[in-house]
Structure formats: structure tokens, C-alpha cells
Amino acid sequence: MRLLPQSLRLDKEAWLRFFVGLAGLLVAFAAAVFSTITREAGNLWATALLASLALLLAGAVALTTIPYLARRVVLHRVREIFDYDVTREGMAYLGLVLVVGIAALNTGNNLLFIVVSAMLAAVVVSGFASAAVLRGLELDISLPEHVFAGETVLARIGLRNTRRFLAAFSVSVVPPRAAQRKHLHWERSTFAFPSKVPPRKQWIRVPDLSLRMVTDEDKPPAMVSAHSYFPYVPARSSVSRELELHCARRGRYVQRGFGIATRFPFSFLVKTRRVPLAREIVVYPSVAPTDEFFEVLPMITGEFEAFVRGRGHDLYRIREYAPEDSARYVDWKASARTGSLKVREFTREDERKLRLVFDNPVSGAVDEAEYERTVALAASLAWHFAEEHTELSFVAPDYSGSFDVYEFLRYLGLVAPRPAAGASPSVIDELHLSDDYNVILTTRPRGSIPTALWSCSYFVLIGEQR
């Protein structure tokens, strides 16, 4: 059996309420008609009873049926919100209309009245034409899957013209307007008398509360702040443009809506239709190498390579000594025989495994700038070793434990210092030893770190203890 879409199925409850409401209104209408007849017949009680019945039935339908049906009716045409901005050309045109209208009133010339009427009709026609163009457009936004802070990426904006014969001209996709909301807010203040003298000379100073009007401004998100211009969108076709996005900081960016604007046809007004199309992206921290990255990477790489080679037992080869090699792998017999330092390399018993541990500090442990540098360092290290095809794992407070580097970067994009009150225990205390080499970013002092971790870990101490 073929099922109809949800939008095409019969809403039995809505139809039942509609017919019940219609029957109630018919009964109320009949009661009102009969109340008029009884009034003319002089029957006061029957008139009052029938009029009251008509009023009660009409009120019951208005309170129970109409709101229920209104919530289920698709009123997208009625609910469409248009913003109007008068252009300089429009101001000049309206000024000219005003001058011609005053001249028509002063002279009584019928020709001038006809000219004023034609000029006002042009404004009305332009309003209907621009509204028709905007109503026939559908907007689609395609955002990139992975966005890094400080980098410029491309998004795609598509406009589809659903009209069969009417094309769209001079259309722009714009960010939403900033909305201002006013509300009353209680604030702590001080009652002082006299009020116009310095505080030390005032006679009375007592704590007080004051009520004032506060305006909140919802600024448009920085994710999309530029305009995309479409000079022509043919009927029953789609046109797309690429838009550059630049997010300076990591975090969550939410675009709560867009606007489709046009000056068509006469540029008297800029009419903008609001499109409630929500989009959200999580901007990862920048993975570009930083000064801290260049500082710690050679030491991490050296200790990691020494840790990996030292776990084997079978001799692989003897080679020349390199500055990053550990002294414990020097082959002194081969060095004495050849006259130069030689080191032994052993076969690896398993793959290169590295575990990146981000011990998220509590709020107030480090300042904001240091915290952001630490998050960027963790992201840079994760990205670097992922490109080196190292088998990575990640440990962090409230992290899902996924091995995907993008999931960890998403976590770092949204992470914030843990609240000091009721903070969860450090991940270092719950870290189990394994065959992985650990790179641990933490604010804990050296004395509180378990000694078992020192032989298989490299610590990046955040803050002053670094």
C-alpha cells in the first residue's frame, strides 16, 4: 500500500473541529435571528435567552476552534516579513511627488493630479513587483564540513526561482538585521541625598534597587557578514555563488537567518524578505604551527622515537649517531672499533602509538590568552601526528573517546575551562598505562604527577610552571 506524505494526509481531528465549529456558528446565527423575531413579538425572556445562547456559542467557537485551526494552517504568505529601507533615489522621488502634489493643490490643475497619481501608482507597482520576485525565491546554503580558525573557506549560496514565467532581477542575499529588544531590568544602586554633591559630603547613602529599561542588541553572527549579488535568476532555474567565510576565533557559530533583498524595479526601496534558514558550524582551533609548537615538537619527536625503538628486542641495524638519539642506545664496541659514535636500532614490535592527553584546567587556573595558546598547541600536535600516520588516541574530560582527529578538533573548538566548583577529577589520575606514548598538557605541578608516567610521557606544563 502506498502511503501519502504527511503533508497530504487527511487531518481528521482538524476537519472534525472545523465542522463542529461551523455547526456551532450556524446555531448561533439561528439563535440571533430568532432573538430578533422574539424581540419584535415582545417576548423579553426568550429574546434574552436566545441572544445569550448566540453569544456563548460564538465565543466558544472563537476560543476553542479558531486557535486550533490557525496553528495548523500554512500561512507562509501571511507570515512573510518584509523589511523596507528607503534609498536616496526613493527619497528624491518622494520629494518630487510632494512638490508636484503641492503645486496641484495650489493651482487646481487636473493634469498635475493625474501626474501625482501616476507617480504614486509607480511606487505601488514597484512594491507588488518586488514582493512577487522575492516570494518566488528559495534559498539554500552549503557550508564546508571542516573550518579552522583564522583561515578563509568557501561556502556556496544557491537561489532557486520557483516562478514559471517571472525571472528575478538584482537580488542579493544579505545577513539578518540586528534585532533590538527592550525589557525592564532591576539593578543594584545607592540612594544618596543630596544627589548632586560628592559621595563623602552626602548625608544619606543606603543600598537601593533601581528599575530601568535595557536594550539588548542581537548582532548578526560573524559567520556570514558579506552580501552575495545575483543580477539575474531565470524562471524555474537555480543560480549559485561562492562566498568567502573567515572565522577569527574557534567556537560555535550560529546563523539564525538570512535575508533576500532587491531594489527591483525602480530602486525606490530596498525590500528584504527574512528567510528563517538556520545554519551552524563549529570552528576548529588553528592548526598552523605556533612558537610553542616549534618549541616542544623536536623534544616530543625525539623522546617518542626513542620510546618506540626501545621497546624492541631484535637488533635491526647499527648506524651513525644522530643528535636526537639517546645515549643509552650507543654501541660502545662498534664506536671504539670505527672511531665514531654508533647507535643500535631495534625492530619495532608494534605500530607507532601516541596518546594525546588534554587535562582541561579549571576556571581561573590560567589566563584566557594562555588557555587559547594551549588549545591551539593541542590542535597543532594532533594535526601534525595525524599527518605522520601515527596511530592516535585522545583523552580529555568529557570527551567521547573517538580516535578521529576531527572529532578531537571539534572538542577543542568547543572546550572551555572547567568550573572550579564541583570540578571533576583530573584525567591524569584516571590514566591507565598502555603501550602508547603520552603527550600530556596539564597545569598540575610536577610533584603531583604520578611517577609511573614519567618514563612513557612528555609533559607540557601550562601556565607559569611550564
Cβ atoms of residues 343 and 327 within 8 Å: no
Neighbours of 318 (CB within 10 A): 15
- Report mean pLDDT in 10-residue bins for the chain, 466 residues: 43 77 86 84 84 83 74 52 82 89 83 88 86 86 88 88 86 73 62 70 73 54 72 90 85 84 86 84 88 80 64 62 75 81 65 81 82 89 86 85 88 85 68 79 78 77 60
Q: What is the pLDDT of residue 284?
A: 92
User: What are the Cα distances from residue 364, in Å, to 74, 85, 440?
Assistant: 51, 47, 20
Cβ atoms of residues 206 and 219 within 8 Å: no
Among 344, 315, 300, which Cα is nearest to 458's? Answer: 300
Q: What is the pLDDT of residue 285?
A: 92
Residue in the structure block whose three cell numbers are 636526537: 324
Q: Which cell is 311 given?
A: 621497546
Considering the entire predicted model, what is its pTM? 0.62
Contacts of 454 (CB under 8 A, 6+ apart): none
Contacts of 426 (CB under 8 A, 6+ apart): 359, 442, 444
- For the CA atoms of the chain, what is the radius of gyration? 37
Strand partners, 191: 206
Q: What is the pLDDT of residue 249?
A: 87
